[in-house]
Structure 1
Amino acid sequence: MHEGKIARFGGNYPGLGGPNFLINDPSTEELELRLSYWTESGGTVRLYDGRRYQAIGRLEAKRRWTTLTCRVPKSLLAAATAADRPEPGLNVLGELSAPAVWVATMAVRTPPAPVITEQGRQ
């Protein structure tokens, strides 16, 4: 429990890096990652592309519960772009790179379709 929410704690440790997570059996289309977190020092959300971690979002040090929504680029999920990236059907490894972070919720989904209004049409 942290600041009124049930949460898991993780931090960067020498030789171990930050807390990891998996996106299980993702599609090869762009996804959206939504994270409810608390950190006092900030950090990044990163995904492993088979060679290195790529930043997809920034954790802000707000000292309160915050929700971050970031895009998981199709290029990090599509196996056809590089031989050493995960094949479809495998998990994608992610990392929260921060000295200390509490996570209450994390969800991955297909991004909602954009809403087109009459005013937005040409």
Structure 2
Amino acid sequence: MSAFMLDKRLAADSEPVAVTGLCELRLMRDSRWPWLLLVPRRPDIAELFELTPLDQVMLTFETNMVASALKQTTGATKINVGALGNMVRQLHVHVIARFEGDANWPGPVWGHGTAQPYEPGEMRRFIESLREALSP
């Protein structure tokens, strides 16, 4: 059995936030939307149904936990959750805070415009606030 390795594109496009029971939690490097990724730390998994039943339950629990923390941290109008995998096959779940009037509201975030980097220190502060919201 091979070891878990994060896809190179996910690593290049995101910053580590935390490790949950199952997943690596990462923040996308695009300040237009508070956009998190949950990546199950299981090798060679592309689809939800490829996870064990216990891992499926854990992923659902962790997705809900992260979505709640993101809503609490940002005060978002809506939290979008999706697992597409068309560009990056490694299973990952997007958890995105959306606001009325944000870039491309109410349309999807995928393929819209060019990513805008966070201002210096802004990403670090946001990651710290997420970690605080996730801690018991």
The answer to whether the superposition gives a TM-score over 0.5 is no
Name the structure with the higher strand share: 1
**TM-score (norm. length: structure 1):** 0.27
Higher relative contact order (CA 8 A, sep 6+): 1
Name the structure with the higher helix share: 2
Work out which of the two has the higher radius of gyration on C-alpha atoms and give 1 or 2.
1
**TM-score (norm. length: structure 2):** 0.25
